[in-house]
């Protein structure tokens, strides 16, 4: 039995291992070690060789790599990584993200306690001076019926109703909804129709 067989949550990160983003990737790795649930981290190497991956990540048994021979973009790379997910729950993180302590367990706990298929949380910007500014999404915290979240997105030019990378969902629902669209950007949004309209009674936004 491998380490990933015990994982409760899978975190998918597509990356091209750009030199300027490697320090962020290592910080994300460190933040995963601050989580209090069992996790697996799947790195989709988007057209770059594994030799460019820092040794610290190659030597961590909870880190899995998916090697893509050519760059395919974040959305397609995430879908290739989905093939390696063994955890029942899945979320994503970009290669310059950080996960606050307890971020995974807060969302997972709410989803399990209320029999939900997915839930989401707040996102925030960490500035160079250490200041944090939290983005308040248009969708208010609490429970929402399937499909209701769209009502907080009045038009394509408006601010999106939820931060896509905060979405934690059951792995089977992500696969059933078609995964991520192979778009140059906004690939997260295409998970919304399938995820928001699944026949579950509600969702929860959590604050961290």
Least reliable range by pLDDT among 74-78, 93-97, 180-184? 180-184
203 within 8 A of 106, measured Cβ to Cβ: no
pLDDT tens figures, 1-59: 466 678 999 999 999 999 999 999 999 999 999 999 999 999 999 999 999 999 999 99
Whether residue 11 contacts residue 85, with contact meaning beta carbons closer than 8 Å, is answered with: no
Torsion angle defined by CA atoms of residues 183, 72, 96 and 207, in that order, rounded to the nearest 10 degrees: 40
Helix (H, G, I), strand (E, B) or coil at 81: helix
> What is the per-residue pLDDT for 128?
86
Distance CA 101, CA 98 (A): 9
Q: How far, in Å, CA of 197 to CA of 203, rounded?
A: 11
| 3-state secondary structure (DSSP) of residue 73 | coil
Is residue 17 a contact partner of residue 45, using CB atoms and an 8 Å limit?
yes
Each residue's pLDDT tens digit, 85-137: 999 999 999 999 999 999 999 999 999 999 988 888 888 888 888 888 888 88
Cβ-based burial of 75 (10 A; exposed 0-12, middle 13-18, buried ≥19): buried
Write the burial class of residue 203 (CB in 10 Å: 0-12 exposed, 13-18 middle, 19+ buried). Answer: buried
Residues near 90 by beta carbon (within 8 Å), at least 6 away in sequence: 9, 10, 11, 12, 82, 168, 169, 170, 171, 174
What is the share, in percent, of the chain residues with pLDDT greater than 70?
A: 85
Question: Integer distance in angstroms from the first to the last C-alpha of the chain?
Answer: 33
- What integer pLDDT is reported at residue 145 of this predicted model? 77
**Does 203 have pLDDT greater than 50?**
no
pLDDT value for 178: 81
pLDDT higher than threshold 90 for residue 186: no
Query: pLDDT at position 159, please?
Result: 80
């Amino acid at each position: 039995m491998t380490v990933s067989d015990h994982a409760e949550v899978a975190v998918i990160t597509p990356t091209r291992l750009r030199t300027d983003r490697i320090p962020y990737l290592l910080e994300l790795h460190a933040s995963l070690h601050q989580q209090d649930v069992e996790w697996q981290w799947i790195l989709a190497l988007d057209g770059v060789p594994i030799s460019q991956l820092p040794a610290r990540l190659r030597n961590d048994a909870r880190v899995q790599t998916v090697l893509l021979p050519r760059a395919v973009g974040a959305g397609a790379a995430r879908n290739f990584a989905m093939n390696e997910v063994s955890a029942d729950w899945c979320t994503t993180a970009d290669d310059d993200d950080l996960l606050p302590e307890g971020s995974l367990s807060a969302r997972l706990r709410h989803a399990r306690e209320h029999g939900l298929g997915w839930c989401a949380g707040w996102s925030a910007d960490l500035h160079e001076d250490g200041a944090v500014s939290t983005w308040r999404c248009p969708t208010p915290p609490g429970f929402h019926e399937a499909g209701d979240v769209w009502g907080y997105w009045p038009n394509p030019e408006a601010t999106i109703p939820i931060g896509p990378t905060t979405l934690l969902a059951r792995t089977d629902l992500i696969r059933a909804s078609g995964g991520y669209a192979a778009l140059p950007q906004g690939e997260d949004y295409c998970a919304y129709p399938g995820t928001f309209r699944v026949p579950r009674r509600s969702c929860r936004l959590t604050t961290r």
